[in-house]
Structure 1
Amino acid sequence: MTIKTLSLSLCVVSMSAAAGGFSSEPLINIDFSLGDRLDKMVWSRTTGVTANTEVFYTGDDKNIIYQNGELILEARRERISNPKFGQQKFGALQNIKFRDVSSVSIASADYFTYGKFEVVADIPDSKGLQPAIWLQGENKNQYGEIDIVEAKGDKSVGVRFATVHAGSSVKDLQRRSSHLNVGGGFHKYTAEWTPDQIKIFYDDNLILVAPGELGVTGGRAPLRQPMQLKINLGGGSRWVGPIDLDSLPQRMRIQSIKVWSYLSGAAK
């Protein structure tokens, strides 16, 4: 795994790279086929239950596997009690007694303001699962989210969705969305994010363009705030419906993760 500081990557940029708007060398360059692993100083884990999914995100190694040159996120059928159950300070989470699916959610420890993000992954199609590679903003008095890729289970086998959400809150959003049937197996999912626009590509084919000013209100620009890169194997949301427990376990397989920094002085 190669991780460079932003200042270093800016120093090694060539003029041709500057014209493209992104650094010539990745800021983060993880190739699992070379034996790379996630650095715990660079990647965090979301753990526990959430109100909008039916999974319990674990923090140990039972749902995250390094095998055959791949990082594998695995969703398993098992009942796990919610440690927040019955505790009023946790709000709506106090009403969730347990979950019947364990899974994984990883996130970059750092937030990025613009950049190019590329993940090569094999995403499962299974009823009720919602594997996703996405960017989520700090979201202080606003909401911004870039879904580079999501799957919607067996009703849309091979279909991958890209969506950009932006607005003053999660209840007041503007969206741009697209989808493409890429079929099974490994595919390259890429987002190019600049102040002016977001472009999303599947296997280098452009499938979605959203303006940077989407959702701008009250002097706030949700798509121009720092965002965290997230990769998770979720499910059971309102969008995808209940998880088919009999189809588990299911795996999301990842070959590589790369992030390039954005060069603010670059030509558009």
Structure 2
Amino acid sequence: MALLISIASCGKNETKPAAKVAPSNLVVNAVVSADSSGAVTFTAVAENAVTYDYDFGNGTYQTVANGIANYSYTVVGHHSYTVTVTAKSADGLVISKSIQVAVNVSALLWSDEFNTDGPPDPKKWGYDIGTGDNGWGNAEAQYYTNRPENVTVANGILKITAIKENYAGSAYTSTRMLTKDKFSFKYGKIEVSAKLPAGGGTWPAIWMLGSNITTAGWPACGEIDIMEHKGNVPNKIYGTLHHPNHSGANGDGSTLMITNATTAFHKYAVDWSPTLIRFYVDDQLFYTFTNTGSLPFNQHFFVIFNFAIGGNFGGAIDPAFTSASMEVDYIRVYKN
């Protein structure tokens, strides 16, 4: 009898195994880089999940504990991928979710990383020398040279320096360098990482002209101003297009206010296609222009870097100005 009571008592005190916990409420997000590099940042969050398995839709897999996965697609062109994320609990139970991700990857067509000290690569760059037609039509105050005092590469950075000095009848010197007859392209994305000069009257520009300028003239050749900046209006970035009936102050464009334009490097970019020309700063789109076959933006263009002083756009020059530099870390041109 005592044995039976003991057995019965043990049976009453038995506990059932705890139920296994499955993940729930899985949410997956993707942020595609705007620089056409193919880079995507994925974020997955689920309740009761301890790991996340990513299937990137191209035969590549990755497991992460925090749900964040950074992945770069490499196939050139516009492609859509089905990305599946499987969240797993500590008990081995799973939940899955799939999303579609559209990615554009561009091929690098041409670049200059400015990694060789000395003058800029003469295979890539030439110069406009002198004042041109009174500052190439803008009443600028500088004389453009290719002297090392005005343009040089050091420690991976191109520096175009404007100097207050008497030179060949001008009160300032600077540099205007260009890829004319060395490199041009039609459609694609151009990116330049640059730190801009400070000071009243400074006018740095990163821009392009139609390769037919010698025969067609301006503005019939077309002009794409990727970035212009006035030292008299700090941190206001101008993106502008000039073409017939829309030249000078009547150009098509917009502006964007940023911070630290003269103390930090920013990425200035234009994405150019037969239908659209889009302007960016640090991947932020701030102007979109509709391109058509009747406009001059359907031919090869070459690139220009210059740093002007004063003129119709640069405005009044600070009497205390002595020198300043536009610094460029790289220029990269991608073919879409």
Please state whether the residue corresponding to 1:132 is helix, strand or coil.
Answer: strand
User: Using a 3 Å threshold, how does the CA distance of structure 1 residues 23 and 107 change in structure 2: closer, same or farther?
Assistant: farther
Paired residue for 2:227, among 136, 149, 155? 149
Compare the two structures and name the one with the higher helix fraction: 1
Paired residue for 2:306, among 228, 232, 246? 232
* Cα pair 1:73 1:103 within 8 Å, conserved: yes
List runs of 5+ in structure 1 lacking aligned partners. Answer: 1-13, 82-97, 263-268
Greater radius of gyration (CA): 2
| CA shift for structure 1 position 73 | 0.6
Task: Say whether 1:176 aligns with 2:250.
Answer: no
> For residues 71-108 of structure 1, what are the alpha-carbon distances to aligned partners after superposition, in whole Å with 9 as ceiling and x for unaligned?
11100011122xxxxxxxxxxxxxxxx21110011111
Output the amino acid matched with 2:201: G
Please state whether the residue corresponding to 1:39 is helix, strand or coil.
Answer: coil
Alignment of 1:76-155 (within 5 A): 76-81=163-168, 98-108=169-179, 109-137=182-210, 138-139=212-213, 140=216, 142-153=220-231, 155=232
* Cα pair 1:143 1:170 within 8 Å, conserved: no
* Cα pair 1:136 1:229 within 8 Å, conserved: yes
* Cα pair 1:143 1:168 within 8 Å, conserved: no
- Count of residue correspondences: 227
List runs of 5+ in structure 2 lacking aligned partners. Answer: 1-72, 80-102
Please state whether the residue corresponding to 1:110 is helix, strand or coil.
Answer: coil
| CA shift for structure 1 position 172 | 10
User: Using a 3 Å threshold, how does the CA distance of structure 1 residues 117 and 37 change in structure 2: closer, same or farther?
Assistant: farther
Q: Distance in 1 between matches of 2:200 and 2:178?
A: 24
Q: Distance in 2 between matches of 1:26 and 1:37?
A: 24
Larger relative contact order (CA 8 Å, sep ≥ 6): 1
Q: TM-score, structure 2 length as denominator?
A: 0.61
* 1:197 paired residue number: 276
Output the amino acid matched with 1:152: K
User: Using a 3 Å threshold, how does the CA distance of structure 1 residues 243 and 158 change in structure 2: closer, same or farther?
Assistant: same
* Cα pair 2:224 2:242 within 8 Å, conserved: yes
User: Using a 3 Å threshold, how does the CA distance of structure 1 residues 75 and 160 change in structure 2: closer, same or farther?
Assistant: same
| CA shift for structure 1 position 226 | 1.9
* 1:73 paired residue number: 160
Q: Distance in 2 between matches of 1:199 and 1:26?
A: 18
User: Using a 3 Å threshold, how does the CA distance of structure 1 residues 204 and 170 change in structure 2: closer, same or farther?
Assistant: closer
| CA shift for structure 1 position 66 | 2.1
* 1:241 paired residue number: 315
Q: Distance in 2 between matches of 1:211 and 1:240?
A: 28
> For residues 102-146 of structure 1, what are the alpha-carbon distances to aligned partners after superposition, in whole Å with 9 as ceiling and x for unaligned?
001111132221221111010112111110101112341614111
Output the amino acid matched with 1:32: F
Paired residue for 2:290, among 181, 205, 211? 211
Matched-pair identity in % = 27
* Cα pair 1:167 1:174 within 8 Å, conserved: no
User: Using a 3 Å threshold, how does the CA distance of structure 1 residues 17 and 126 change in structure 2: closer, same or farther?
Assistant: same
Q: TM-score, structure 1 length as denominator?
A: 0.75
- State the superposition RMSD in angstroms: 2.7
Please state whether the residue corresponding to 2:121 is helix, strand or coil.
Answer: coil
Output the amino acid matched with 1:230: I
Q: Distance in 2 between matches of 1:58 and 1:174?
A: 28
Q: Distance in 1 between matches of 2:190 and 2:177?
A: 15
Q: Distance in 1 between matches of 2:112 and 2:130?
A: 26
* Cα pair 1:136 1:228 within 8 Å, conserved: yes
* 1:7 paired residue number: none
Please state whether the residue corresponding to 1:26 is helix, strand or coil.
Answer: strand
* 2:142 paired residue number: 55
